[in-house]
Amino acid sequence: MNRFLASELEESTPEQCLFQVVPAPFEATVSYGGGTVHGPAAILEASDQLEVWDGLSDASVLGIHTHPAVDCTGDAETVLDRIEAAVASAAEHGIPVMLGGEHTVTLGALRALHKKHGNFGIVQFDAHADLRDTYEGSPFSHACVMHRALDLGLPVFGIGVRALCKDEVALRKDRNLSYLDARDLAMNGMPENLLPADFPETIYVTFDVDGLDPSVISATGTPVPGGVLWWQAIKLLEKAIAGRTVIGMDVVELAPKEGDHASDFAAAQLTYAMMGIVQRLSNS
């Protein structure tokens, strides 16, 4: 598997780098279009076409190390244990930046970072709430990952959601969850203050690419219309990250399609843009 920005950067050790890229090509519970198993490799390949200057800064000067892909064969619990171990190791050197794979992989990262840091907040970009307790018989479905995060005691702020089941709507009310749904963003614009006043200063950012509108990234299992547009996403990331400590990030659910280089490139650029925002605006 390629390295992130291999065309621009010399190979470096984990100790030299802030950003620790962890590919996690797990796919077991996708419920519509498949292909997320190929997402990490596609992002890494597309990253060779990026420029290190992102328009405002060069995040690569902080160092980007790409770890070997996690072995994602076997059942979900086994794979999550491996992801947890890989992220825990990466977090000893810098900020884990995981590439999925289906959204289930996020749980492994959250477990590792919860053990290391204690409580933190999760900023979730997604078309779906992912708050089901179980889906198709599994508590480890991609549709359940944020419910598992709540089970860990981690607060979640969802951005761009526009597809929920009734149980998820009820859970939001029961748990008094905060969110900015895609409809609210479209109808009312971007709020001045994005995250609640009592949201943790330390955060993890998980970005399911279906949170973006399909006009930006269509290569994903369930491309729901009416999503977040590119510059909205960048501004929302800036608002979420500014002044906070980012302990980990991920970009998940890219399902590459033959001939659709635009989606792969957009996912790679999103990953690098998130690094740049952390470089410029976070306390990390």
Amino acid at 237: L
Tokens 């204690």 correspond to 118
Rounded mean pLDDT of 100-117? 97
**pLDDT for the residue numbered 30:** 56
What rounded mean pLDDT belongs to the chain?
A: 96
Looking at the predicted structure, is the pLDDT value of residue 33 above 70?
no
- From the number of C-beta atoms within 10 Å of its C-beta (0-12, 13-18, 19+), residue 117 rates as middle
Total residues found in the chain within this entry? 284
Record the pTM.
0.97
Give tens-digit pLDDT for 158-215: 999 999 999 999 999 999 999 999 999 999 999 999 999 999 999 999 999 999 999 9
Four-residue CA torsion sign, 76, 90, 232, 39: negative
247, 204 contact by CB (below 8 A): yes
Question: CA–CA separation, 259 vs 217, rounded Å?
Answer: 13
> Does 210 belong to an annotated binding site?
yes
Rounded mean pLDDT of 40-58? 97
Give tens-digit pLDDT for 206-242: 999 999 999 999 999 999 999 999 999 999 999 999 9
125 has which bridge partners?
159, 207
**pLDDT for the residue numbered 111:** 98
**pLDDT for the residue numbered 224:** 97
Question: CA–CA separation, 73 vs 93, rounded Å?
Answer: 26
Q: Tell me which residue of 45, 261, 270, 80 sits closest to 160, measured CA to CA.
A: 270
Confidence of residue 136 (pLDDT cuts 50, 70, 90): confident
**pLDDT for the residue numbered 29:** 60
Which ranges of the chain does DSSP label H, i.e. alpha helix?
39-47, 76-91, 105-117, 145-151, 166-175, 182-188, 230-241, 261-281
* DSSP letter (8 states) at residue 20: E
Cβ-based neighbours of 61, under 8 Å, separated by 6 or more: none
**pLDDT for the residue numbered 28:** 82
3-class secondary structure, 190: coil
Q: Tell me which residue of 88, 125, 62 sits closest to 267, measured CA to CA.
A: 125
Whether cis (ω within 30° of 0) applies to the bond prior to 35 is no
Looking at the predicted structure, is the pLDDT value of residue 32 above 90?
no
Rounded mean pLDDT of 89-108? 97
Q: Where are the domains of the chain?
A: 14-281
Q: Tell me which residue of 178, 183, 157, 175 sits closest to 244, measured CA to CA.
A: 157
Looking at the predicted structure, is the pLDDT value of residue 34 above 80?
no
163, 183 contact by CB (below 8 A): no
**pLDDT for the residue numbered 140:** 87
Q: Which of 11-25, 132-146, 223-237 has the lowest mean pLDDT?
A: 132-146
Cβ-based neighbours of 175, under 8 Å, separated by 6 or more: 150
Q: Rounded to the nearest 5°, which phi and psi values hold at 222?
A: -135, 85
> Does 130 belong to an annotated binding site?
yes
> Does 103 belong to an annotated binding site?
yes
> Does 208 belong to an annotated binding site?
yes
14-281 CATH pick, 3.30.70.360, 3.40.50.10320, 1.10.10.10, 3.40.800.10: 3.40.800.10
Rounded mean pLDDT of 72-99? 97
The pair of three-digit structure tokens given for residue 250, joined into one six-digit string: 């991920």
